[in-house]
Amino acid sequence: MLAIAVTSFVLGDSFLSYYEAVLHQDVPFTSIADALYLFPYPFYAVAVVRLARGVRRQRPAEDSLDAPIVTIGALALLWHFLMHSYARDNALSVVERVVTLAYRSWT
Per DSSP, the residues of 8-61 read: HHHHHHHHHHHHHHTS-SPPPSSSHHHHHHHTHHHHHHHHHHHHHHTS-----H
- Contact (CB, 8 A) for 22 and 87: no
pLDDT at 66 over 90: no
User: Quick one: average pLDDT of 7-29?
Assistant: 90
Percent over 70 (pLDDT), the chain? 89
pLDDT in tens, 28-44: 888 888 889 889 888 98
Contact 86, 104 (CB under 8 A): yes
Residue 55 has pLDDT above 70, yes or no: no
At residue 22, the pLDDT reads 92
Report the distance separating Cα 99 and Cα 22, nearest Å. 25
Confidence of residue 85 (pLDDT cuts 50, 70, 90): confident
